[in-house]
């Protein structure tokens, strides 16, 4: 029998459950740039929750939209039926996508968006008579959620090793992290565009006729903010075009202003065939993800199908009324407040702040793009990840929320931040780094 406040019932995700429940750290409220911790102190949010609260916390227009939707239509199925808000949300989202990527499939998370995108890629190849193109190519250190498709194309071994055989026919490009040549890069690293040629190696190994799609994060977030080298994404696009391979951008983190545009595809000037999204789509107020597919991909699947259902895929909550309302209200805020521009406006100031930690104790690399930052620490001898975890705990206790992945501090604040917040984030981080061993 559990007590109402018993911590044992909740099996927490991506958490050292035993350690947490010995020393829990909890939030009880949030507003603007800050959380309130259970202990009562304010915590400056330097990670946008979990890369997702792009417009700041507790935004009244989003709250009101969710409340109104719940009062009018709490749920409506979108299997052979629908409701108007889902179509409005899709139309509004399509307007933000690169030209031609205007067919929107709704999911509930980034993981579901990735698995949806992979299925769409396979269905497309089959629909156009290329059923032998079944191989999926991911990238080392890539994070594409936790579905079986996502961890198969993903390249973070810790997310895979417990689960045995994954999808077959998957291979991986080399990652682009090259600290020997690119340490302390401001913005795009100068070296490494040639790493895109690794796709030519895989084409030679497997045959282009077997490869359906390549999936990459334009900026790899969860692995520690790995910024693509100058020209790398452009070269990937060229090779995919050359060999008739779909290119998927996983923009679950980078979409909705994180790098200064609606999508990283727009910022980099590289248009993929499919984009996956989630997180900032609803400002995280209601779970929602989406996949934007090129119209030709959608039309091929739909028009090649026999009468009836064209794509045997979907979720009970695809286009949920509350999520659709939250998405529409969120997109309104982004537009009204010009938040996509904030990352561009603050990028230089942010870059200076990130790189102000060069020379700080334990720091071996700093990198940045848009309003993303990565500060890599030297691992503690014999105890990798422990140094960064100590920084994480000390930061929370002193009123700062950061994210750590391995021995990397990853930062992605809400886009409403001011220069004073940036000063506070990096001033406090510098103080903490000076104190730890």
The DSSP line for 206-222 is: H-GGGEEEEEE-SSB-T
Q: Is residue 204 predicted with pLDDT exceeding 70?
A: yes
Q: Distance of alpha carbon 277 from its chain centroid, rounded?
A: 7
Q: Is residue 1 predicted with pLDDT exceeding 50?
A: no
The per-residue pLDDT for 395 is 98
Q: Which residues contact 255 (CB under 8 A, 6 or more apart)?
A: 262, 263, 264, 275, 277, 279, 280, 281
Q: Is residue 2 predicted with pLDDT exceeding 80?
A: no
Residue 3's pLDDT band, with cuts at 50, 70 and 90, is: low
CATH match of 64-337 with 3.30.365.10: no
Q: Is residue 100 predicted with pLDDT exceeding 60?
A: yes
| Mean pLDDT for all residues in the chain | 97
- Residues carrying CATH 3.40.640.10, the chain: 64-337
pTM value surpassing 0.95: yes
How far apart CA 391 and CA 298 sit, in angstroms, is 46
Residue 178's pLDDT band, with cuts at 50, 70 and 90, is: very high
Fold for domain 17-58+339-435?
3.90.1150
Paired tokens of 53? 């609260």
Residue 2 near residue 9 (C-beta atoms within 8 A): yes
Place of tokens 């009244």: 60
Q: Is residue 149 predicted with pLDDT exceeding 70?
A: yes
Q: Is residue 222 predicted with pLDDT exceeding 50?
A: yes
How far apart CA 269 and CA 255 sit, in angstroms, is 14
Residue 165's pLDDT band, with cuts at 50, 70 and 90, is: confident
The per-residue pLDDT for 226 is 98
Mean pLDDT of the 305-326 span: 98
Q: Which residues pair with 243 in a beta bridge?
A: none
The per-residue pLDDT for 4 is 55
Mean pLDDT of the 77-84 span: 98
- Residues carrying CATH 3.90.1150.10, the chain: 17-58+339-435
How far apart CA 253 and CA 409 sit, in angstroms, is 16
Q: Is residue 15 predicted with pLDDT exceeding 90?
A: yes
């Amino acid at each position: 029998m559990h007590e109402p406040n018993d911590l044992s019932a909740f099996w927490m995700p991506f958490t050292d459950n035993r350690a947490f429940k010995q020393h829990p750290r909890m939030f009880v409220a949030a507003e603007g740039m800050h959380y309130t911790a259970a202990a009562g102190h304010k915590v400056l949010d330097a990670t946008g929750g979990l890369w997702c609260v792009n417009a700041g916390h507790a935004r009244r227009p989003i709250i009101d939209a969710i409340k109104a939707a719940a009062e009018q239509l709490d749920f409506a199925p979108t299997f052979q039926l629908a409701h108007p808000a889902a179509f409005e949300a899709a139309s509004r989202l399509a307007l933000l996508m690169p030209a031609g990527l205007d067919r929107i499939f709704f999911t509930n998370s980034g993981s579901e968006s990735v698995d949806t995108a992979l299925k769409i890629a396979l269905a497309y190849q089959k629909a156009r008579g290329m059923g032998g193109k079944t191989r999926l190519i991911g990238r080392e250190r890539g994070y594409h959620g936790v579905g079986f498709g996502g961890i198969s194309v993903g390249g973070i071994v810790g997310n895979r090793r417990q689960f045995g055989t994954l999808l077959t026919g998957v291979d991986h490009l080399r990652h682009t992290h090259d600290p020997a040549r690119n340490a302390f890069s401001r913005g795009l690293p100068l070296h490494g565009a040639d790493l895109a040629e690794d796709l030519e190696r895989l084409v030679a190994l497997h045959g282009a006729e077997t490869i359906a799609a390549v999936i990459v994060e334009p900026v790899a977030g969860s692995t520690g903010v790995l910024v693509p080298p100058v020209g790398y994404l452009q070269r990937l696009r060229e090779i995919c075009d050359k060999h008739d391979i779909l290119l998927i951008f996983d923009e679950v983190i980078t979409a909705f202003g994180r790098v200064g545009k609606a999508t990283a595809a727009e910022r980099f000037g590289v248009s993929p065939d499919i984009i996956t999204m989630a997180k900032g789509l609803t400002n995280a107020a209601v779970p929602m993800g989406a996949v934007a597919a090129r119209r030709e991909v959608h039309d091929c699947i739909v028009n090649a199908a026999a009468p009836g259902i064209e794509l045997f895929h979907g979720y009970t909550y695809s286009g949920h009324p509350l999520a659709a309302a939250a998405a529409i209200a969120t997109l309104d805020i982004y537009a009204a407040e010009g938040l996509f521009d904030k990352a561009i406006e603050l990028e230089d100031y942010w870059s200076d702040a990130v790189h102000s930690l060069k020379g700080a104790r334990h720091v071996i690399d700093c990198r940045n793009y848009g309003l993303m930052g990565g500060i890599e620490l030297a691992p503690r001898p014999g105890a990798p990840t422990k140094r960064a975890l100590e920084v994480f705990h000390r930061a929370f206790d002193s009123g700062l929320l950061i994210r750590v992945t391995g021995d990397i501090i990853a930062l992605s604040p809400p886009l409403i931040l001011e220069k004073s917040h940036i000063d506070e984030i990096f001033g406090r981080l510098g103080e903490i780094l000076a104190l730890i061993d």
